[in-house]
Amino acid sequence: MIQYILECIAFQLLFLGIYDFFLKRETFFQWSRVYLLGTFVLSLILPWVKIEAFKQKVPQTFAAYPEYLWGLQNAEVVVNSKDVTLWNVTWQEGVLYGGMIVALLFFSLKIRQLYLLKKRGEQVQFPNFTQVIITNSSNAFSFFKSIFIGDKVLKMKHDTIIAHELVHIKQGHTWDLLFFELMRIIAWFNPLVYVYQNRISELHEFIADAHVAKEDKSEQYQQLLSQVFQTEHISFINQFFTKSLIKKRIVMLQKSKSKKVWQLKYLLLIPMVLGMLLYSSCEVVSKNEYSESINETSLKSGTEIYFSNVEHVPVFPGCENVTDKKACFNEMMQQHISKNFSYPEQAFEAGIEGRVNVMFTIDEYGNVDNLKMRGPDPLLEGEVERIIKRLPKMQPAKHQGKEVGIPYSIPIVFKLDYLNSSKVSNNDSENKSEVPFAVVDEVPIFPGCEDAADKRACFNDKIQLHIGKNFNYPKAAQDANIEGRVSTMFMITTEGVIENIKMRGPDKLLEDEVERIIKRLPNMIPGKNEGKPVNVPYSIPVTFKLQ
């Protein structure tokens, strides 16, 4: 929703820029009226329009997270919008709706003001309008088919004023102003709505002046305008006397009629709208979705299939007799990296750290091939290449009965504070302050799992149960049609406390909800490695789905 609002405001700003710089000084008043009304409506519609010919996907990059071994894929938790409570208003929504209520209150007061003026005034019926005479007043304005006119104005040449207000009535100018008044209630926070209403109000006066000046002598009409009168401060009425507009109206009356060739200026709208359509048709997708779309393309070619889509993943040595070979593959991959990892001495001494994204293919013979990396320094990339090249030969993946090649990617983060400053090697577990969940000797014990035979499986089950129980789909995310996957990682410390919660997902609304859930996790019995309590990082993906 926030993105939609920002796009609307940006489009309106561009449309108003064209109007103020190129069109405002021309005498094509009816064209300009259509332009202002049309572009405002367009600004509301264009963000929703997706032209197939313009469609393209733009990958959205996430900020790098310093945690080690993000790739550990525990059982994914999928939560649906049907679990949401009926009433859940965020503070942002409270401010929005509160502003609408205040704006509606002001509008009601203006309507009441008009009602009281009409009730107290003397009403005279005419074929095309109702004249309301206001006692002891110099007002002159129209609202729908009513012309409000002060008794002091009746003493002067008021026929010209009536003719002016009749133009507003016949052309339905009140509807234009009421439209923007409604927009001021809905989008009270948008300053450009007020600018649009001001511009259309000016145009209304120019249009009416141009009609009256044709029938009346222009000099006499300008003299009438130059007199000072009181005004009603109501934004949706067409008032004859507005001090801030008098000078502009006199200048516009004296202005020569614009040449028809300058109507071509309105063609500037075409490339502007096309550019906006191109922008709105671009789809921003997450990094994971983007790589999935790439792999879907390669899947069609028949050479490779994405790891998560293949029927039978490659079998890592030691996983032959395991039921869930995908989970075993991931755990064995983490163990291999942890076992073979060694921080390059030159990188350590130079203080180089960062994240290396690595992708490789496990081909149809079970060999590692087509190794690609992207990282902050060649020293770190070289270390990752060394680790991956030491992977053992595996049983190849199978899909639809055929052996196929599988692309696999994993991020490896080099962080100096993972190491004891006295040693560079990462092979000695005594020097590691953190041990990944997949390889720790004794996993942290979730309350209720003390007597479980498989405490690792019990931990995973309890985490999923906790997320499902405490989940609440953010209403703002539902309204904005936001869904997707949030990967979260947190640390279970040597005291069994949850710390260092990190997330990455498609939207902050979803990330905040996952953070709220994780913060409610209970204290646990800490994990142990070689008999000593250790910090255990744990990661789990949570998928938000609308139904």
What is the rounded (10 degree) CA torsion for 296, 302, 307, 309? 70
Dist. CA 294–CA 57, nearest whole Å: 11
Evaluate if residue 103 carries a pLDDT over 70: yes
Q: What confidence tens digit (pLDDT) does each residue in 371-416 have? A: 988 888 888 898 899 999 999 999 999 988 889 888 888 888 887 6
CA 290 remoteness from chain centre = 18
Q: What is the DSSP string of 105-161?
A: HHHHHHHHHHHHHHHHSEEEE-SS-EEEEETT---EEEETTEEEEETTGGGS-HHHH
The angle at the Cα of 526, spanning 435 to 73, to the nearest 5 degrees, equals: 50
**What are the residue boundaries of the structural domains of the chain, listed by start?**
76-88+433-547
pTM beyond 0.85, yes or no: no
pLDDT band at 80; cut points 50, 70, 90: low
Task: Please choose, from the candidates 49, 46, 42, 41, the residue with its C-alpha nearest in 3D space to the C-alpha of residue 180.
Answer: 41
Taking phi over 0 as left and psi of -120 to 50 as alpha, with beta for the rest, 451 belongs to alpha
Architecture of domain 76-88+433-547: 2-Layer Sandwich (3.30)
Evaluate if residue 22 carries a pLDDT over 90: no
Q: What confidence tens digit (pLDDT) does each residue in 233-274 have? A: 676 676 665 656 666 776 666 677 787 777 788 887 888 888
Q: Where is average pLDDT lowest: 49-58, 151-160, 414-423, 470-479?
A: 414-423
Structural element, H or E, at residue 167: helix 158-170
Query: What is the identity of the amino acid at 27?
Result: T
User: Could you tell me if 168 and 204 are in contact, meaning their C-beta atoms sit under 8 angstroms apart?
Assistant: yes
The three-state DSSP-derived secondary structure of 528-543 is EECCEEEEEEEEEEEE
Q: What confidence tens digit (pLDDT) does each residue in 445-492 have? A: 999 999 998 898 899 889 989 998 888 888 888 888 888 888 888 899
pLDDT value of position 288: 42
Dist. CA 57–CA 322, nearest whole Å: 39
Task: Please choose, from the candidates 481, 448, 453, 441, the residue with its C-alpha nearest in 3D space to the C-alpha of residue 463.
Answer: 448
| Mean pLDDT value of segment 32-36 | 92
| Mean pLDDT value of segment 431-435 | 62
Dist. CA 1–CA 134, nearest whole Å: 46
Cβ burial of 105 (10 Å; 0-12, 13-18, 19+) is exposed
Higher pLDDT residue, 309 or 229? 309
